[in-house]
């Protein structure tokens, strides 16, 4: 696992993860950037998926992105931490990794899920992300030793938080 400071829409990986909303039809932040970069075909495919529940994930093609695929996951809205936010966020990472493993991807890049307009505190979200991904990579039922997980941070603050957590691991 590694953290990088970059624009997730520029990464040449097997799949990028989109911090989507329940409709999967685009929005602000990373979701909007991914939809703009991927092109109109992405919205057309997403319409056929019937939305996505919080904590779940769905796969589409990457279209005009350097990444071959997009895993769309819907993170929780922060409501103070007492409404199963950590478990829902962990499910986003778990489900995304499960899809990547099933498709035999070798590289998967995550954005900072739920930390934008959904208001999840960046440090708490990063802790959930690193812990959940570490647990999934150690899960003996997967043959995923070759899966490279990238935490793609758009801002320096996010990058610094991930670096600090990964250096402790």
List pLDDT tens digits, range 95-123: 999 999 999 999 999 999 999 999 999 99
* 79: nearest Cα among 91, 71, 88, 70: 88
CB neighbours of residue 18 within 10 Å: 33
- Tokens encoding 6: 């970059």
42-74 pLDDT tens trace: 999 999 999 999 999 999 999 999 999 999 999
- Locate all alpha helices (DSSP H) within the chain, ordered by sequence: 29-38, 40-47, 85-102, 122-138, 156-168
**pTM across the whole model:** 0.95
């Amino acid at each position: 696992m590694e953290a990088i400071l970059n624009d997730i829409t520029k990464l040449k990986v097997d799949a990028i993860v989109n911090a989507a909303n329940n409709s999967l039809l685009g929005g602000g932040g990373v979701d909007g950037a991914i939809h703009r970069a991927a092109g109109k075909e992405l919205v057309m495919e997403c319409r056929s998926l019937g939305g996505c529940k919080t904590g779940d994930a769905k796969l589409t093609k990457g279209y005009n992105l350097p990444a071959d695929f997009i895993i769309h996951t819907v993170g929780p809205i922060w409501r103070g931490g007492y409404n199963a936010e950590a478990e829902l966020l962990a499910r986003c990472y778990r489900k995304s990794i499960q899809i990547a493993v099933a498709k035999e991807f070798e590289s998967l890049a995550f954005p900072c899920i739920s930390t934008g307009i959904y208001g999840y505190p960046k440090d708490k979200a990063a802790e959930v992300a690193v812990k959940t991904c570490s647990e999934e990579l150690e899960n003996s039922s997967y043959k995923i030793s070759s899966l490279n997980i990238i935490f793609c941070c758009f801002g320096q603050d996010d990058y610094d938080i991930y670096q600090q957590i990964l250096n402790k691991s």
